[in-house]
């Protein structure tokens, strides 16, 4: 609601010649998918997308063979920048976070659609990035998540350019950095808080394989928790508070927390470490904890419970030894993805459903943790769509992409871009 009100204010300032003019965003009609299919240039473009899918798969492999470890997406970003440029997009640039942005003008001022996919992978620099292909199966780290999304972006741009389709609203195509893990959505955070702040009407991320439509953004909080103390000899210094023991107490308390099944809310201690040797009272012990929920309030409640568990574990261990070798605990946030959701009835979701049905494809409304989380948390209409095909082993080095009928995903993304840029 706040956002709608803002748009109205902008309309009244249209006569300020220096301002970028904005128009109120109208919802796509309920049958936008079948309407689009009746337009001859659209029909031609869809046929072309199907016949050129093999070339798109080549591009998917080409981009994926360029490593893009967390925080080191630069080389793949440069390759995407060149592709955007050669396809005829304008004002192609890399922002200070490392996102690649490219513009396609509309015939009107709005709605402004951002159509994106993420550049980064979960794989570190030590992982060999090699793609193989056997029949319809493409295999290699990141081939589905999210080299598929990047390829689909290129397919959509090419189809628009070749068919010379003009959309009323401008489209900014973006390859984002920092979607995975500790990247913590830093790419979209820059996108929505940087130069495009307040100028994005609709946001779509194409992420991974399949045909799902993600409209619920699962939020997450991640901590690295470290207990510290004096440390000493296990026998000679017995009687000192022990960071490893405190960590154990904390884990036991977290393991016993009760969380709702609906909205789904979860906790996980994913990594632990610390200690010096079997006969030493360690001076340090740490763990990494991941908390998730599709509901903001439930996540906040869980977070509060975890904080209490950590503080209680610390007190318990210090009290046990009457504060000898008194411990401290530090909690460093290593991830904060806001939860968000767009109603299944919202125009952006309905547009995605409409184009999916128009192509005769099954509709699946999902939840997930993606770049769209940030947009959703800001109240901006946003969804994440799968890019077609099928994936196995996502986030593993044996990741595959089955390209059987994957053109359906490219076609669907293309129709959705058209539906949302008008």
Give the footprint of Zn ion on this chain (CB under 5 A): 145-146, 207
Q: Which is nearer to Zn ion, 73 or 145 (CB)?
A: 145
Instruction: Check: CB of residue 121 under 8 Å from CB of residue 68.
Output: yes
CA distances, 242 to each of 253, 283, 288, 307, 323 (Å): 17, 8, 18, 19, 11
Taking alpha carbons only, the member of 371, 362, 364, 359 closest to residue 344 is 364
Taking the complex as a whole, how short is the minimal distance between the CB of residue 365 and Zn ion, in angstroms? 18
Q: Which is nearer to Zn ion, 59 or 207 (CB)?
A: 207
The beta strand positions in 294-389, using DSSP E, are 328-337, 340-341, 365-368, 382-385
Taking the complex as a whole, how short is the minimal distance between the CB of residue 295 and Zn ion, in angstroms? 22
Cα–Cα distance between 212 and 386 in angstroms, integer?
5
| Burial of 135 per CB tally in 10 Å (0-12, 13-18, 19+) | exposed
Taking the complex as a whole, how short is the minimal distance between the CB of residue 391 and Zn ion, in angstroms? 10
Taking the complex as a whole, how short is the minimal distance between the CB of residue 418 and Zn ion, in angstroms? 24
Cα–Cα distance between 302 and 420 in angstroms, integer?
36
Q: Which is nearer to Zn ion, 111 or 187 (CB)?
A: 187
Instruction: Check: CB of residue 160 under 8 Å from CB of residue 42.
Output: no
Q: Which is nearer to Zn ion, 139 or 422 (CB)?
A: 139
Q: Which is nearer to Zn ion, 146 or 190 (CB)?
A: 146
- Work out the number of other CB atoms within 10 angstroms of the CB of residue 271: 11
Ordered alpha helix ranges (H), 28-146 = 32-37, 40-51, 53-64, 74-86
Q: Which is nearer to Zn ion, 208 or 325 (CB)?
A: 208
Instruction: Check: CB of residue 149 under 8 Å from CB of residue 386.
Output: no
Q: Which is nearer to Zn ion, 33 or 98 (CB)?
A: 98
Taking the complex as a whole, how short is the minimal distance between the CB of residue 50 and Zn ion, in angstroms? 25
Torsion of CA 165, 171, 175, 181, to 10 degrees: -130
| Burial of 277 per CB tally in 10 Å (0-12, 13-18, 19+) | exposed
**Tokens coding 167:** 């959309």
Taking the complex as a whole, how short is the minimal distance between the CB of residue 335 and Zn ion, in angstroms? 15
Taking the complex as a whole, how short is the minimal distance between the CB of residue 239 and Zn ion, in angstroms? 50
Taking the complex as a whole, how short is the minimal distance between the CB of residue 120 and Zn ion, in angstroms? 8
- How many residues would you count in the chain? 422
Q: Which is nearer to Zn ion, 95 or 207 (CB)?
A: 207
Instruction: Check: CB of residue 266 under 8 Å from CB of residue 293.
Output: yes
Taking alpha carbons only, the member of 389, 392, 386, 351 closest to residue 372 is 386
Q: Which is nearer to Zn ion, 243 or 368 (CB)?
A: 368
Q: Which is nearer to Zn ion, 161 or 366 (CB)?
A: 366
Return the DSSP state at 16.
Answer: -
Cα–Cα distance between 19 and 15 in angstroms, integer?
8
Taking the complex as a whole, how short is the minimal distance between the CB of residue 306 and Zn ion, in angstroms? 26
Q: Which residues pair with 285 in a beta bridge?
A: 227, 274
- Work out the number of other CB atoms within 10 angstroms of the CB of residue 61: 18
Taking the complex as a whole, how short is the minimal distance between the CB of residue 78 and Zn ion, in angstroms? 20
Taking the complex as a whole, how short is the minimal distance between the CB of residue 64 and Zn ion, in angstroms? 13
Instruction: Check: CB of residue 145 under 8 Å from CB of residue 212.
Output: no
Q: Which is nearer to Zn ion, 146 or 184 (CB)?
A: 146
Residue the block writes with tokens 């095909």:
389
- Residue 100: enclosing H or E segment and its boundaries? strand 100-104
């Amino acid at each position: 609601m706040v956002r709608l009100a803002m748009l109205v204010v902008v309309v009244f300032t249209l006569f300020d010649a220096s301002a970028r003019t904005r128009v109120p965003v109208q919802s796509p009609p309920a049958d936008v998918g079948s309407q689009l299919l009746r337009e001859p240039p659209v029909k031609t473009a869809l046929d072309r997308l199907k016949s050129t899918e093999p070339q798109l798969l080549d591009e998917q492999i080409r981009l994926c063979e360029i490593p893009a470890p967390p925080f080191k997406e630069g080389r793949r970003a440069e390759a995407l920048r060149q592709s955007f440029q050669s396809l005829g997009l304008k004002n192609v640039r890399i922002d200070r976070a490392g996102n690649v942005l490219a513009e396609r003008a509309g015939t009107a001022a709005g709605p402004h659609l951002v159509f994106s996919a993420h550049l980064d992978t979960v794989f570190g620099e030590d992982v060999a990035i090699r793609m193989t292909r056997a029949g319809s199966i493409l295999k290699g780290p990141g081939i589905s998540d999210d080299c598929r999304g990047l390829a689909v972006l290129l397919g959509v741009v090419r189809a628009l350019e070749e068919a010379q389709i003009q959309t009323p609203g401008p489209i900014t195509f973006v390859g984002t950095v920092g979607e995975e893990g500790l990247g913590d959505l830093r790419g979209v955070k820059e996108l929505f808080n940087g130069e495009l702040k307040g100028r994005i009407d609709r946001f779509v991320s194409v992420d991974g394989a399949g045909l799902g439509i993600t409209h619920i953004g699962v939020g997450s909080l991640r901590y690295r928790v470290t207990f510290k103390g004096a440390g000493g000899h296990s026998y000679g210094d017995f009687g000192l508070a022990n960071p490893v023991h405190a960590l154990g107490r904390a884990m036991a308390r977290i393991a016993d927390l009760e969380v709702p099944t609906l909205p789904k809310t979860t906790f996980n201690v994913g990594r632990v470490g610390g200690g010096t040797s079997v006969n030493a009272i360690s001076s340090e012990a740490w763990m990494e904890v991941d908390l998730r929920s599709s509901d903001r309030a439930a996540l906040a409640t869980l977070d509060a419970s975890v904080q209490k568990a950590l503080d209680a574990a610390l007190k318990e261990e210090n009290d046990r030894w009457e504060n000898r070798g008194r411990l401290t605990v530090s909690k460093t946030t290593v991830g904060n993805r806001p939860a968000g959701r767009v109603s299944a009835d919202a125009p952006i979701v309905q547009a995605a459903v409409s184009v999916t049905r128009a192509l005769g494809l099954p509709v699946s409304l999902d939840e997930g943790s993606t770049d769209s989380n940030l947009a959703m948390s800001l109240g901006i209409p946003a969804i994440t769509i799968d890019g077609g095909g099928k994936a196995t082993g996502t986030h593993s080095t044996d990741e595959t992409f089955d390209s059987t009928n994957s053109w359906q995903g490219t076609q669907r993304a293309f129709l959705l871009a058209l539906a949302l840029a008008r």
